[in-house]
Amino acid sequence: MIFSKYGYIKLLNNLKTNYSFVYASDWKKYSTKKNKIILRHDIDFDTSYALEMAKIEYDNKIKSTFFFLMRDDYYDLYSNETYNNIEKIKNYGHKIGIHINPDSYKQYKKKVKKINSDIKYFQSFYNIKIDSISYHQPSVYNFKDIKFKSKFSSYSQDIMSKYKYFSDSSMNFRDKEFNNFIKSQKNIQLLIHPIWWMINKKSINQKIKSLFKKKKSDLINIFKKYDTIIKIKNSYK
């Protein structure tokens, strides 16, 4: 598997041959049928790469669901940049879901209440209805104590039993198993992280370094604007 923009377009075209793409929230409607794929994206680091991927999918007439972290150290869900990116992703015809990192809520005794409060605020801010959730690092955290209503919960037993799960986590795609499975045309839940495909570097280390450079550049540009306002030079150096 080639983890690049070209590689992603090639993957989509391969899947389009035998599959049709459905929103995560519509999983139940198609659970008894074949040839269906839930394409979803957990956005862990940067929303601009999510927007790039959304545009590629739009150009290829593919719909997917993007899941954003409500509490994250890498991007601000309520910044102007993120707001504009999410609005554009919505306008491309994709759906928006919530990506929940339990570690962000460990200090709260009533986790579910706080998560629901965050979701309610997110819905109001973006004027959308959230009906799909995904969890961050499912192999690390136990989600049994976090329950609330949604049409789609990424790792629920019901969904996992009806849609074969594949992921590109840590760029470990299980190519051979995946390629053999799609021949069966059975339903698939496919998790794709934009960072591994939209940054055209070969290794994880190179991609993370490229992400760091971008984040540093973004921060410098913010300080440049600040310098102009308060009339000082190069406060970021």
Residue 220: per-residue pLDDT = 83
Point out the residues of the chain with pLDDT beneath 50: 145
Residue 140: per-residue pLDDT = 54
What's the one-letter identity of residue 98? Answer: I
Cβ distance 163 to 189 under 8 Å?
A: yes
Residue 112: per-residue pLDDT = 78
Q: Return the DSSP state at 90.
A: H
Nearest to 125 by CA among 66, 82, 73: 82
Please state, in angstroms and rounded to a whole number, the distance separating the CA atoms of residues 78 and 75.
9
Cα–Cα distances (Å) from 204 to 12, 13, 149, 169, 209, in that order, read 22, 24, 35, 11, 9
Task: Set out the domains of the chain in order of their start, with CATH numbers.
Answer: 5-199 (3.20.20.370), 201-237 (no CATH)
The stretches of the chain forming alpha helices (DSSP H) are 5-16, 27-30, 47-59, 80-91, 111-126, 157-162, 175-182, 194-198, 204-230
Residue 219 is encoded by which pair of tokens?
């921060």
Nearest to 128 by CA among 67, 74, 58, 52: 67
Residue 150: per-residue pLDDT = 67
Assign 105 to helix, strand or coil: helix
Virtual torsion, Cα 214, 215, 217, 218, nearest 10 deg: 120
The structure's pTM equals 0.90
Which position has the token pair 């070969």? 202
Residue 85: per-residue pLDDT = 98
Please state, in angstroms and rounded to a whole number, the distance separating the CA atoms of residues 132 and 38.
12
